[in-house]
């Protein structure tokens, strides 16, 4: 594999990421077709159920007679199964494409190497494993969901410079949520909400903040709202129960859940891993956990997290609700205006095997 191959594969990842928030539970896939070192076609998977990246890339080529002398780059192994669309491996073979470079094999059980085998049997030269670490990172939600049978878990919180997440507040307190991070960070959080399949907060956060948990400062789909209300403490008039958005409530109480607000029965022994298993059953590929402190701590304690995004503002509270701590150095640190943003990856879960 050459440096050139890596350049084109990076373009595939760039294209793939355009689908973030729209393709779940399918992967993010980008595809580039190159003829004599010139890109003659590009495509990506835009939305769940839509054409695959390879189909879009092949369709975009103006002169199909060049395909036989071209290389097709794809961030994921072309599929070999008849799903919602016919197999891409067959299309590539029919078009007479001579060389295919891929990053990762597709862990989806009905593909998983079959795409490569089919194309090889047709005489296509295949090279796989090009930038496979980056490919895995691009599709980390998809890989983890299929292999661990649970959603990819992203923890998010904002803390003061002295490590507090909030002041001690009571329900209905006129103070309202103390937004610690800046305006731009709030917008970024709405973008993140649009990128994940679900968003989750604990009972106390619903009671004290009465959040809507929708996408307002960005465009895109609202995530499925998820909360736990073991003993039915959440008021029926809470925004989260307004039926305007798909919502799942894990509760021991029966009653008022109808339409887009679904209830999942829990008993006292029900833990976070049970909850994640159930979300997997509900086809939820990823979840953004936005608080409160206790829920975030539980995910951290049980090692049931894959990524954490922590804002640090400039203010000092001196007292209040302590923010969780992660005992490792951040994998990346940037500034969003005057707010710090640290990114932590849980390497234990993010190993490409």
Q: How far apart are CA 314 and CA 318, in angstroms?
A: 12
Q: Is 29 in the site for ligand AOF (CB under 6 A)?
A: yes
Residue spans of beta strands (DSSP E) within 305-351: 307-312, 321-322, 332-336, 339-345
Q: Which is nearer to Zn ion, 76 or 234 (CB)?
A: 76
Cis peptide before 219 (omega within 30 of 0): no
Q: Taking CB within 5 to 8 Å according to partner kind, which of ligand AOF, Zn ion, none is near residue 45?
A: ligand AOF
Expressed in angstroms, the distance from the first to the final Cα of the chain is 20
Q: Is 83 in the site for ligand AOF (CB under 6 A)?
A: yes
Q: Is 9 in the site for ligand AOF (CB under 6 A)?
A: no
Residue spans of beta strands (DSSP E) within the chain: 30-35, 38-44, 71-76, 99-104, 125-128, 152-159, 164-166, 198-201, 224-229, 247-251, 261-265, 286-289, 307-312, 321-322, 332-336, 339-345
With CA atoms as reference, report the closest residue to 103 among 131, 125, 126.
131
Q: Interface with ligand AOF by CB under 6 A: which range of 64-72, 103-111, 180-188, 232-240?
A: 103-111
Q: How far apart are CA 294 and CA 165, in angstroms?
A: 11
Q: Taking CB within 5 to 8 Å according to partner kind, which of Zn ion, ligand AOF, none is near residue 33?
A: none
Contacts of 142 (CB under 8 A, 6+ apart): 25, 26, 27, 28, 107, 285
- In the complex, least distance from residue 9 CB atom to ligand AOF, rounded to whole angstroms: 14
Tokens coding 185: 């960070």
- Please say if 54 is a catalytic residue: yes
Q: Taking CB within 5 to 8 Å according to partner kind, which of Zn ion, ligand AOF, none is near residue 312?
A: none
Q: Which is nearer to Zn ion, 109 or 259 (CB)?
A: 109
With CA atoms as reference, report the closest residue to 96 among 67, 127, 128, 56.
67
Q: Mapping DSSP to helix (H, G, I), strand (E, B) and coil, where does residue 84 land?
A: coil
Q: Is 32 in the site for ligand AOF (CB under 6 A)?
A: no
The pair phi, psi for residue 147, each rounded to 5°, is -85, -40
Q: Is 79 in the site for ligand AOF (CB under 6 A)?
A: yes
With CA atoms as reference, report the closest residue to 24 among 175, 172, 139, 115.
139
Q: Which is nearer to Zn ion, 79 or 158 (CB)?
A: 79
Q: How far apart are CA 345 and CA 329, in angstroms?
A: 10
- In the complex, least distance from residue 82 CB atom to Zn ion, rounded to whole angstroms: 10
Among 72, 76, 249, 284, contact with ligand AOF (rule: CB under 6 A): 76
DSSP single-letter state for residue 259: T
Q: Is 26 in the site for ligand AOF (CB under 6 A)?
A: yes
Among 79, 101, 189, 296, contact with Zn ion (rule: CB under 5 A): 79
Among 60, 85, 148, 282, contact with ligand AOF (rule: CB under 6 A): 85
Of the residues 6, 14, 47, 54, only one is catalytic, namely 54
Q: Which is nearer to ligand AOF, 83 or 163 (CB)?
A: 83
- In the complex, least distance from residue 87 CB atom to ligand AOF, rounded to whole angstroms: 9
Q: Which is nearer to ligand AOF, 43 or 324 (CB)?
A: 43
Among 28, 33, 88, 276, contact with Zn ion (rule: CB under 5 A): 88
Contacts of 112 (CB under 8 A, 6+ apart): 105, 106
Q: How far apart are CA 91 and CA 28, in angstroms?
A: 19
Site mask for ligand AOF (CB under 6 A), range 37-56, x = bound: --------x------xx---
Q: Is 111 in the site for ligand AOF (CB under 6 A)?
A: yes
DSSP single-letter state for residue 28: P
Q: Interface with ligand AOF by CB under 6 A: which range of 23-31, 133-141, 176-184, 229-237?
A: 23-31
Q: Which chain residues interact with Zn ion by CB under 5 A?
A: 52, 79, 88
Residues tagged active-site: 54
Q: Which chain residues interact with ligand AOF by CB under 6 A?
A: 26-27, 29, 45, 52-53, 76, 79, 83-85, 88, 106, 108, 111
């Amino acid at each position: 594999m050459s440096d050139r191959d890596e350049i084109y594969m990076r373009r595939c990842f760039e294209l793939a990421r355009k689908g973030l928030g729209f393709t779940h539970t399918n992967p993010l896939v980008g595809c580039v077709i190159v003829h004599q070192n010139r890109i003659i076609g590009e495509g990506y998977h835009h939305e769940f159920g839509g054409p695959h990246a390879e189909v879009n890339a092949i369709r975009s080529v103006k002169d199909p007679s060049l395909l036989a002398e071209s290389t097709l780059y794809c961030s994921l192994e072309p599929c070999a199964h008849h799903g919602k669309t016919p197999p891409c491996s067959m299309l590539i073979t029919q078009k007479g494409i001579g060389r295919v470079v891929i990053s990762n094999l597709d862990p989806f059980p009905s593909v998983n190497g079959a795409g490569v085998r089919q194309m090889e049997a047709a005489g296509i030269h295949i090279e796989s494993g090009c930038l496979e670490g980056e490919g895995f990172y691009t599709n980390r939600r998809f890989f983890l969901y299929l292999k661990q049978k649970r959603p990819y878990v992203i923890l998010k919180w904002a803390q003061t410079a002295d490590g507090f997440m909030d002041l001690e507040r009571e329900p209905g307190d006129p103070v309202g949520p103390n937004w610690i991070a800046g305006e731009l960070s709030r917008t970024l959080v709405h973008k993140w909400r649009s990128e994940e399949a679900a968003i989750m907060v604990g009972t106390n956060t619903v009671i004290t903040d009465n959040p809507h948990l929708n996408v307002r400062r960005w465009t895109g789909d609202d995530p499925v709202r998820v909360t736990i209300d073991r003993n039915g403490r959440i008021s029926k008039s809470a925004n989260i129960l307004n039926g305007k958005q798909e919502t799942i409530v894990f509760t021991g109480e029966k009653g008022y859940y109808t339409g887009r607000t679904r209830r999942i029965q829990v008993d006292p022994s029900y833990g976070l891993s049970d909850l994640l298993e159930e979300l997997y059953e509900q086809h939820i590929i990823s979840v953004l956990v936005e608080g409160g402190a206790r829920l975030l701590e539980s995910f951290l304690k049980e090692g049931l997290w894959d990524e954490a995004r922590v804002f640090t503002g400039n203010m000092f509270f001196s007292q209040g609700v302590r923010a969780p701590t992660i005992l490792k150095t951040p994998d990346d640190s940037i500034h969003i205006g005057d707010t710090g943003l640290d990114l932590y990856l849980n390497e234990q879960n993010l190993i490409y095997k």
